A = this chain, B = another copy of it.
Amino acid sequence: MASKNKIYNIGIDVGGTKMTSVLTEGGKPITDFTLATPKDNLEHFIIMLKALVDPLLEMAKSDKAKIGTMGIGIPGVMDGTKERILKCPNLSILDGVYLPKILKENFGLLSVMDNDANCFIRAEATLGAGKKYKNVYGITIGTGIGGGWWINDDIYNGSHGGGAEPGHMVVDYKKPLDLEDAYHNLTSSSPAEVARRAYMGDVPAQRIFEELGALFGASLASIVNIIDPEIIIIGGGVVESSDLFLNAAQKTMKELIISPAAKNTKIVKAKLGQLAGAIGASLLK
């Protein structure tokens, strides 16, 4: 018997397009795999999950490590106890599914679930751009817009598990239009394509990013005016084009923050890259 057993954790990040698994030790990634997310039915989804997880289990076995927990991040809203997915807009096969129970049945491991943006911010706040801070707001801008709030060493969940959904802040009350809809409208739901054109010098595309900067800046100012975090971390696919809008966002945000003491709140980019969500899932308890 070894005097010290290694403990590894498994994290899975389920996105609308791809899903990634990672094996971690103390939050550090050991190996990871990525597949396209099956959208046809739950059975197929579980088969693909096994394809992502089984090689991690074999590696843990060959390293003589035990698996602590298996965490999964989901792009949707769940119930207060995080046992059931209530609504998964970009992956409706998961609507109503008790996913941790299914994982436990299939893998025999302690299984926990959270929102994908919460997993992202858990990783970034503990190991990434927010590790020096105690009150960190994270926003992920990719296909959709998610968010998570890290305070007092944990994710803030709200009273009904419905907190930290910044994509659904109302940014135009007359229509009404929320942040995510405004983002989709501005980018015609193809932010990467608009960014490509902007980088090639296309002026209308650059203007779209300026307007996105104003939109994000106003939305983040609302967040600061309501919860006043120490720092805001921005992640998701759009971060790759951040030089097109981040200065404008920071400027607009500063103008619209009401508290003089909070005006210099910084927006910083995520540090952990593509694996942040999966690493955060592996940190779930």
Contacts and interface: CB of A to CB of B under 8 A. Distances in A.
A185 to B, nearest CB: 12
Contacts of A169: 169, 222, 225-226
Contact of A173 (B79, B86, B161, B215): B215
Contacts of A252: 176
Nearest to A224: B162
A261 B79 contact: yes
Q: So how many copies of this chain end up in the complex?
A: 2
A218 B173 contact: yes
A174 B173 contact: no
Nearest to A180: B258
Given A77-B258, A168-B256, A228 B178 contact: no
B214 A173 contact: yes
B176 A256 contact: yes
Interface in A225-274: 225-230, 252, 256-262, 265
B176 A261 contact: no
What is the predominant secondary structure among interface residues of chain A facing chain B? mixed
A226 B229 contact: no
Interface string A145-173: 00100000000111111111111111111
Contact of A163 (B77, B134, B156, B227): B227
B168 A170 contact: no
Interface string A72-91: 00000101100000110000
Interface of A: 77, 79-80, 86-87, 134-135, 147, 156-174, 176, 178, 182, 214-215, 218-219, 221-230, 252, 256-262, 265
16 contacts: A86-B259, A147-B226, A158-B229, A160-B228, A160-B259, A161-B228, A162-B224, A162-B257, A166-B226, A167-B258, A168-B221, A170-B218, A170-B256, A176-B214, A222-B222, A227-B227
Given A163-B228, A168-B225, A173-B219, 17 more contacts: A157-B228, A158-B228, A158-B229, A158-B262, A160-B228, A160-B261, A160-B265, A161-B261, A162-B224, A162-B225, A162-B257, A165-B225, A168-B256, A169-B222, A170-B219, A172-B172, A176-B214
